[in-house]
């Protein structure tokens, strides 16, 4: 069994799509828009992965509590292939104004990773 896709509601659909395209080489499909409901979506594919990311918005989407220790969905993790890429991508994200919560470092359970706060307070781990 594999995870086909993960879906996220967001407030700034274009900004969120552009983030994943720029930093994680996501390839979006053409935007789907349902004028009856106001739903707009992109589905992004990633190299060497069957799991896709669906970004969605609609008029009813509201900003909710965004603490890092909130209940429910908490982060996305991207494996980028090497410690060097973890280091360089973390540096680029930091220089572009994204908050680095931890790392790059080797965790107690042996992962080499960093953790950043992405757009709309989505937590993202960058791993080998």
- pLDDT score for 70: 67
- pLDDT score for 71: 61
Q: Which CATH architecture has domain 74-128?
A: Roll (3.10)
| pLDDT tens column, 103-114 | 999 999 999 999
pTM of the model: 0.90
Separation CA 99–CA 95 (nearest Å) = 9
**CATH dotted code for 1-59:** 3.10.180.10
- pLDDT score for 15: 97
- pLDDT score for 62: 84
Structure tokens at 128: 């080998």
- pLDDT score for 111: 93
- pLDDT score for 69: 66
**Start-to-end C-alpha separation, the chain:** 23
- pLDDT score for 73: 76
Torsion of CA 47, 51, 52, 56, to 10 degrees: -150
**Residues paired with 106 in a beta bridge:** 112
Structure tokens at 78: 């991207």
- pLDDT score for 26: 98
Do the domains at 1-59 and 74-128 have one common CATH topology? yes
- pLDDT score for 74: 80
In the predicted model, residues of the chain with pLDDT beneath 70 are: 65-71
Q: Domain extents for the chain?
A: 1-59, 74-128
Tokens 């994200």 belong to 93
- pLDDT score for 104: 98
Separation CA 116–CA 24 (nearest Å) = 13
Structure tokens at 77: 């993790």
> Contact 92/104 with Cβ under 8 angstroms?
no
- pLDDT score for 64: 73
């Amino acid at each position: 069994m594999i995870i086909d896709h993960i879906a996220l509601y967001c407030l700034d659909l274009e900004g969120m799509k552009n983030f994943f395209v720029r930093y994680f080489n996501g390839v979006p499909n053409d935007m789907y828009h349902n004028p009856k409901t106001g739903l707009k979506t992109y589905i992004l594919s990633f190299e060497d992965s069957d799991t896709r990311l669906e970004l969605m918005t609609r008029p009813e989407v509201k900003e909710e509590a965004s603490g890092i220790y909130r209940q429910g969905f908490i982060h996305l993790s991207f494996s980028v292939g090497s410690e060097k890429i973890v280091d360089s991508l973390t540096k680029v994200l930091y220089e572009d104004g994204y908050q680095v919560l931890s790392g790059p470092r080797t965790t107690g359970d042996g992962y080499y990773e960093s953790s950043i706060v992405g757009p709309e307070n989505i937590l993202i781990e960058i791993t080998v």
